Amino acid sequence: MSDFKFLIEAVIHGDVQRAVAETEGALDKGVDIQEILDKGFIAAMDEVGQQYSKGQIFVPEMLRSAKTMKECMRRIRPLFAKGDFTSKGKVVIGTVKQDVHDIGKNLVAMMMEGGGFTVNDLGVEVAPEKFVHQAREMKADIVAMSALLSTTMSAMRETIVALQEAGIRDQVKVMIGGAPVTEQFALEIKADSYAPDAGSAVIVARKLLGIF
C-alpha cells in the first residue's frame, strides 16, 4: 500500500516541483499508475473540488492545483498508451458557439482529467456539428458544454437537437454549466445534468456514468 500523503498535499498546495518529484518517485518505485491516479491525483482534486464548492478556496487556488496536477499528468501520460490506465470515461467538452469564455470550461476540463476521465477539449465557439462529430469519433460517454452568455445558452439546446438528429443522443450523457445556466434550464433543454462548479462537475459526471 503506497502512501500518497505528500503528493496529495503538494497538489492541494499547488507545489509543482514537489508534486512532480513525488510523481516521479512513485513511478521509479514501480507504483501502478492507476494507483497514482486514483489515490494521488483524484484524491487531491476531489479535496480541492470540495474546498472550492464550499467556498474555502477560490479560482486562483483551484487553478494552481489543476495546473500542478496537469504538470504531473504530463509525466505519466506517455504510460497511458501502454494500457496501464483505465479511463473513467470519455468526455468531449467545449464552450458553445459564439461564446469565447473559457476559464470556467478549462477548470472543468482539468478537474475532469484529474478525476480520471479522458478529456477532449474542443476549445471555444464550438458549433453543434463539431460536438456531434467529435462525440461520434471519440465514442464519447459525456458531452459537456459551457456557456457564459445568456445569448449563447440556446446553442446548448441546438447541440442536443443535433445529437438527436445524428442518432447518437441515447449514446451520450449531456452535462451543461456556466454562470447563467441553471438546473431548471438543463431540465428545459433535456440535458442529463447540470453542475454549478468544476468540483461538483466531476461528481455529477461520475453519477451520470454510475461510478461512485
Positions touching ligand B12 (CB under 6 A) are 59, 98-105, 107-108, 144-146, 148-151, 175-180, 195, 197-198, 201
Tell me whether residue 26 or residue 145 sits nearer to ligand B12 (CB atom): 145
What minimum distance in Å lies between the beta carbon of 151 and ligand B12?
Answer: 6
What minimum distance in Å lies between the beta carbon of 212 and ligand B12?
Answer: 18
Residues in the chain, total = 212
User: What residues does 126 pair with on adjacent strands?
Assistant: 96
What minimum distance in Å lies between the beta carbon of 150 and ligand B12?
Answer: 4
Neighbours of 211 (CB within 10 A): 13
Residues 187, 94: Cα–Cα separation, whole Å: 20
What minimum distance in Å lies between the beta carbon of 149 and ligand B12?
Answer: 4
DSSP state for residue 143 in the 8-state scheme:
E
Tell me whether residue 155 or residue 201 sits nearer to ligand B12 (CB atom): 201
Give CA separation, 148 vs 33, 44, 192, 211, in Å: 36, 28, 19, 28
Tell me whether residue 65 or residue 146 sits nearer to ligand B12 (CB atom): 146
φ and ψ of 53, to 5 deg: -60, -35
Tell me whether residue 40 or residue 177 sits nearer to ligand B12 (CB atom): 177
